[in-house]
Each structure stands twice: as structure tokens, then as C-alpha cells.
Amino acid sequence: MPADPLHRAGKPPRSTTSQPPSGSRASAIEVRRSTRRRRTVSAYREGDRTIVLIPARMSKAEEQRWVTVMLDKLAAQESRRVLGDTQLAERAERLSAQYFDGRARPASVRWVTNQNTRWGSCTPAEGSIRLSHRLQGMPDYVVDYVLCHELAHLLVPGHGPDFWRLLEAYPRTERARGYLEGVVAAERLPHVPGARGEGTGPRERRL
């Protein structure tokens, strides 16, 4: 993501610097707050530093959450790996064995390019799982969460309590949901498809 031109001239924004999480590529993270930045958040690499640009009014909790989201996003962009449909199906099989005792057995798993307002879908009657191509390049744990979400729908069709209890077997559910919520907010989409409590039609279950 390129540097924000708003921060190239004039009074410099207030900023803070901290060390990144263990394993991060950059040696330090600098958060710059701007009163001119209202809603958007962006980040870029500057040498061995990661610069995160946020609105001045953000709370510390929001700042921490957005730093995590943007670090994940940068890491995904820098190490894009696109799984083919065969690899995606094999991954789903491994996840089913690991978290659902192998009980979720999709007939087909593949990428599609016609899901721009949802991350994935499952048609239990056909045993088919479809993932949006927009997930390609996102962190592995996010793709795994969407796969687990759709695999769980093969066992529990709706988004009721039984479904969410089943999905709790995947340990990074909340982090992955936070990442996707951050992407949705950044893209200014109207909502997070598949949010807890959202209803779906009887034939197709969507994330």
C-alpha cells in the first residue's frame, strides 16, 4: 500500500512507535494519527519500519486492532500463495479431520469469482463448498477459518448455537473474524456476511 500523500507535507501527525509481534518482518511499527484522516486506515513499509496511518480520534483499543489487521494484510500481500482447487479440497479434508473428526465430507471445494459480497458458501444438499477469490493471498488462518465455517455447515445448516459451538473447535475463529471485519470496514462494505445471528435461505448457507 503506498504512502498517504496527506502526510508528505505540512504539520506532521502525532505518532507512536512500538516493537512488532514476534516473527514480524519489520523491526518496528510506527502509528501515525491524523486529524485529516476520518475513516480510512492504511499501512506501508518504510525501510525496516511499518507505518500505520489512522484517524486521530481512534481509541487505543481500536488502534491495536487495526495494527494487527494491517500487519496481516501487508504480510499477505508480500507472500501471496494461491492454492489451486485440488489443494483447496485437500486442505478442507485435513481441516475436517483435525477439527470435525472427519465427519464433514464435501463433494467439491473450489474457488469462484462471482462472490464479491461474501467470503464463502456451502450447499449442503450437494455437498459443495465455494470460496471467494478475494480470499486468495489472505493469511492462511483466515482461509482456514472460512473453510471450517463452510465445513461446519455440512453438519449444521444454520447459524444457531449448535453451529457456533461446533465452529469453536477451530482455535483462531475470533481472530479470523476480526481480520475479515477489518477488511470489510476498510472496503466500506455494508456488513460482514455470515455474521452471528444472520439468517440465510434454506438451500444455500453463506459466510
pLDDT of residue 90: 93
**What average pLDDT does this structure show over 171-181?**
91
pLDDT of residue 104: 96
pLDDT of residue 188: 64
107, exposed or middle or buried, with CB in 10 Å at 0-12, 13-18, 19+? exposed
pTM higher than the cut 0.75 = no
Most confident of 31-35, 79-83, 108-112, 201-205: 108-112
Asked if 139 and 75 touch (Cβ cutoff 8 Å), the reply is yes
pLDDT of residue 20: 45
pLDDT of residue 130: 96
Q: CA-to-CA distance for 23 and 120, rounded, in angstroms?
A: 29
- CA 202-107-166 angle, to 5 degrees, is 60
**What average pLDDT does this structure show over 177-193?**
72
pLDDT digits (tens, 9 = 90+) for 88-108: 999 999 999 999 999 999 999
**What average pLDDT does this structure show over 4-30?**
46
pLDDT of residue 170: 95
